[in-house]
Amino acid sequence: MTTDLTAPVALRPDVAPIQRRTLRLLFVTQIIGGVGVTIGISVGALLAERIAGAAVAGLAQSAGVVGGALLAVPITRIMTGYGRRPGLVLAYLTGAVGGLLVVAAATTRSVPLLFLGMLLFGGGSAANLQARYTAVDLAEPARRGRQLSLIVWATTIGAVAAPNFADLADTTTSRWGLPALAGPFAFSAVAFGCAAVVIFALLRPDPLLTARRLAVAEATPTAGAAVAPPTPATRRAAGMWSAWRVVRQRPAARLGIAAVAMGHLVMVGVMAMTPVHIGESHADADVLHVVGIVLSLHIAGMYALAPLVGWLTDRVGRRPVILAGTALLLAACAVAGTAGHHTVLLSVGLVLLGLGWSATMVAGSTLLSESVPVAERPTVQGLSDLTMGLAGAAAGAASGFVVQVAGYPVLTLLAAVAVVPLVALALRPATVSAPEED
C-alpha cells in the first residue's frame, strides 16, 4: 500500500482548498521569516567583531548555521508526533529568543551569550527550511516540485529586502538606548514572533496530519478517516537513527539527501571565499561595491528562477534536474576557478553556482519527500536539513584554510571534485515511485 497522495477523489474533496490556503500562508511567513533571518545575518559578523574581535567573528556567524542544523532534530521530532504547526511555531520562537539574546550580548558585551544567541537564532533558518517540506504534504504528485519551489522563491523577497532595513532598524533602536548593530536582531526577533503567531493562528488544518489521515483513509477505506495519534513509543523512535534506517533502504531518498547536501556544500564553500578573492585585486573603496554586485547576482541565481526549476522538476523529472544541477555546479567551479580577477567571469561563475544550488535543492527536496512513507517524512526531512547545515558549515570553515594555503582556484577544483560522487549516484538506476508503508 502506497503513501503517495493519490487517493480516490471521493476521499479528497477538500484537499485542494486546504493546499491553496497553506501555500498562501507559507508564502507570507516565508517573506516575514526571510526578513528576520537576513536582517540579522547582514550585520552579524560586524556585531560579532565588535564584541569578540575579528578572530572569532566568523565562528559566531557559523554558530547560526550550526544552530539551524541542530535545531532541525527536535523540531522534526515534534512534527512527527504533533504535526507541522507546533514544530514551525517552536522554530520561529526559538529564533526570536536567539535574536533577543544577541541584543542582550551586544548590551553586555558577553561573548558566551553572543554564541548562545546565534545558535538559537538558527531556529529562524530551520523554520524557513522546513516550510518548503510543509508545502508538499498535500501537493498533488505532478505539482510537488512547483509548489515546493514557490516557497523557496518566496524567501527571495525577504532576503533581498532585509539588508535595506538594517540601517533603519539600527537607527530606530539606538533611540531606545540599544548599542549599535543590535537593532537588526531586535527586529529579527519581532519578525520571527510575528511568523510564529501567524502560523499558530492560521495553519489549520495541519497539512501533515491531514496527509496522514488521507493515507490511512486510502489504506483502510472502510475504517473511516480517523487516525490514532502517535504513541510515546512512536515519538521516541522518531530520531535521526530511525530516519537513517528509512533512508538507507531507499536509493531515491539517499539521492535526495545527497543532492541537497552536496549542492549546499559546494555553494557555501565557493561563495564564502569569493569576497576574499575579489578583495585581493580591488582597493578598499571599491571592494564592497564589487562584492555587492557579484553576490547579488549569485543570490538571484539561487532564488529568482526557483519556480522554473520547480516546473522542470515536475515536467522532466527529479533525477534529470539533479543531474542538470550538478552540471551547473561543475561549470560554476570551472568558470570561477579560471576567472582570475575578472569581475564579469566571476559573476557568471557565481550565477551558475546559484542555479546549480537551486536545482539540487528543489529537485532533491522533492525527491526525498515523495520517497519515504508519510509517517516518516518529518524525521527524514530533519535528517536532510541537519546534513545540509553541517555540510555547509564544514565547507565554510574549511574554505578559508584552503584559500590561505593553496588559493581560490584550488578551492574551486576541490569543490568540483566533491560533486563527482553525486553525479555517480544520480546516474545509478533507482526506483523513485512511492514507497511501501512499513
162-173 pLDDT, tens digit each: 766 777 787 888
**Do 327 and 374 have their domain in common?**
yes
Question: For the residues 36-55, what does the mean pLDDT come to?
Answer: 78
204 & 267 share domain = no
Residue 248 Cα distances to 165, 209, 234, 371, 372, angstroms: 44, 25, 19, 12, 11
Dihedral of the CA atoms 31, 36, 37, 42 (nearest 10)? 110
Residue where a domain stops, chosen among 184, 206, 238:
238
Which of 11, 398, 33, 24 lies closest to 197, judged by CA?
33
Domain range for 405: 239-430
pLDDT at 12: 56
Reduced DSSP (H G I as helix, E B as strand, rest coil) percent helix, strand, coil of the chain, to 5: 85, 0, 15
**Residues 74 and 186 occupy one common structural domain:** yes
Does any domain span residue 437?
A: no
The reported pLDDT for the residue numbered 277 is 81
Q: What is the mean pLDDT of residues 102-121?
A: 93
- The pLDDT assigned to 225 comes to 42
Mean pLDDT of 235-256: 81
Inside any domain, residue 348: yes
Same domain (yes/no): 202, 154: yes
Average pLDDT (72-89) is 93
Task: Tell whether 162 and 278 lie within a shared domain.
Answer: no
Identify whether 142 is part of a domain.
yes
**In a domain? residue 292:** yes
* Section 119-133 average pLDDT: 93
Same domain flag for 288 and 219? no
Query: Which domain-ending residue is among 191, 219, 238?
Result: 238
**Which amino acid is located at 400 in the chain?**
G
| Lowest model confidence (mean pLDDT) among 45-59, 112-126, 324-338, 361-375 | 45-59
Q: How many domains does the chain have?
A: 2
The pLDDT tens digits for 365-417 are 999 999 998 888 999 999 999 999 999 888 888 888 888 899 999 999 999 99
Provide the mean pLDDT of the chain. 85
Give the mean pLDDT of 186-215: 93
Q: Is 110 in the same domain as 1?
A: yes
Beta carbons of 156 and 31 less than 8 angstroms apart? no
pLDDT at 103 over 80: yes
Together in a domain, 243 and 215: no
pTM of the entire structure?
A: 0.83
Q: Give the least confident one: 17-21, 76-80, 202-206, 399-403.
A: 399-403
> What cell numbers appear for 180 in the block?
549599535
More confident residue, 176 or 420: 420
> Do residues 339 and 426 both lie within one domain?
yes
Shared domain check, 246 and 227: no
Q: What was the pLDDT predicted at 287?
A: 62
Inter-residue contact 299 to 160 (CB < 8 Å)? yes
pLDDT band with cut points at 50, 70 and 90 for residue 181: confident
Boundary of a domain, candidates 211, 238, 265: 238
Q: Please choose, from the candidates 240, 224, 243, 187, the residue with its C-alpha nearest in 3D space to the C-alpha of residue 371.
A: 243
DSSP 76-123: HHHHHHH-HHHHHHHHHHHHHHHHHHHHHHHHHT-HHHHHHHHHHHHH
Residues 41 and 151 in one domain: yes
CATH number at residue 177: 1.20.1250.20
Q: What is the average pLDDT across 78-104?
A: 95
Residue 276 and residue 291 in one domain: yes
Residue at 18 is within a domain: yes
- The answer to whether residues 184 and 40 touch, using CB atoms and an 8 Å cutoff, is yes
- Residue 79 lies inside a defined structural domain of this protein: yes
What is the band of 3 on the pLDDT scale with cuts at 50, 70, 90? very low
Share of the chain above pLDDT 90, in %: 54
Residue 436 domain-assigned?
A: no
Closest alpha carbon to 361 in 304, 302, 299, 434: 302
- Confidence class of residue 199 from pLDDT cuts 50, 70 and 90? very high
% of the chain at pLDDT higher than 70: 85
Decide if 123 is inside a domain.
Answer: yes
